[in-house]
Amino acid sequence: MFLDKFKLEDRIALITGGTRGIGLSIAHALGEAGAKLVLVNRTDPVGGVQELKDAGYNVNFFEGDLLDRSVPQKTIDFTLEKHGRVDILVNNAGVAQHGDTEKFNDDLLDKIMDLNVDAVFRMCRSAIPHMKKQGEGVILNIGSISGLVSNIPQPQTAYNASKAAVHMMTKSLASDYADQNIRVNAIAPGYIRTEMTNLPKENEHWYPTWNELTPMNRMAETHEVASAALFLCSPASSYVTGEVLVVDGGYTIR
């Protein structure tokens, strides 16, 4: 009975940034649980779509740049055209940029806020009317421990602020749509091994600090976030909404 609650047979899951990194692992988790997948990315550098198809999952790919304001609605339209519904929306695509605030230019600031915050809002805005019509829906936003604490040594005020906004958006949406049977949750990952945390040589000395400040003394692999995502996207979490689930090896407990 309990394992059945993790099943997503024929559920339609739309994942932004699903062709690599954390998004690709989440796609594997939801695909393995039976969901039909729709991914939206600008590119597919590591062949994530093929990897998911080879694993036997039903996958559609929408090539789009979420910085383009029209793309969120287009991805929802594409999903409806393919499957007629959208059951699960995972807002995973995001960008991190380090830099001292006094030298941080407007283009970088706009990119971070437009992708990490505004695009998430637009995706939710486009998906919610269909979830309301369906009488159910699940939204999962990928936030960060950087939305909870100011992690060091990297200066990244804009990124931290963007992720705090994702957490608050999650709670607000959860509150607004709980009575429509739409659950909205977030995951706040700690340091996960992906392209995003693949530091250039001059910043490699940050790794020991990251590990020392993490009680489990290591970074995580993407699948360790994906299993939490499966929980939050499936009926196993049927009474969980507005939650920011921290997956950080203990970073934020100290």
Alpha helices per DSSP H over the chain:
21-32, 48-54, 71-83, 106-113, 119-134, 157-177, 206-212, 222-233
Closest CA to 16 of 69, 91, 86: 91
Shortest Å distance, C-beta 51 to ligand NDP: 13
- For ligand NDP, the closer of residues 86 and 140 by Cβ is 140
135 — phi, psi (to 5°)? Answer: 85, 10
199 — phi, psi (to 5°)? Answer: -75, 145
Please tell me the distance from the alpha carbon of residue 125 to that of residue 18, in angstroms, as a whole number. Answer: 20
Shortest Å distance, C-beta 33 to ligand NDP: 20
| Residue 41 neighbours by CB under 8 Å, 6+ apart | 16, 17, 18, 19, 20, 23, 61, 63, 64, 93
User: Is 251 in a helix, a strand, or coil?
Assistant: helix
CB 145 within 8 A of CB 89: no
Contact residues for ligand NDP (CB under 6 A)?
Answer: 16-17, 19-23, 41-43, 65-67, 92-96, 115, 142, 144, 189, 191-192, 194-197
Please tell me the distance from the alpha carbon of residue 9 to that of residue 86, in angstroms, as a whole number. Answer: 13
Which residues are tagged catalytic? 159
Shortest Å distance, C-beta 85 to ligand NDP: 22
- For ligand NDP, the closer of residues 42 and 132 by Cβ is 42
- For ligand NDP, the closer of residues 136 and 224 by Cβ is 224
Closest CA to 185 of 139, 125, 147: 139
Please tell me the distance from the alpha carbon of residue 179 to that of residue 136, in angstroms, as a whole number. Answer: 10
Shortest Å distance, C-beta 103 to ligand NDP: 21
- For ligand NDP, the closer of residues 36 and 163 by Cβ is 163
Shortest Å distance, C-beta 149 to ligand NDP: 12
- For ligand NDP, the closer of residues 12 and 188 by Cβ is 188
Task: Supply the angle between the helices 21-32 and 222-233 in degrees, to the nearest 10.
Answer: 50
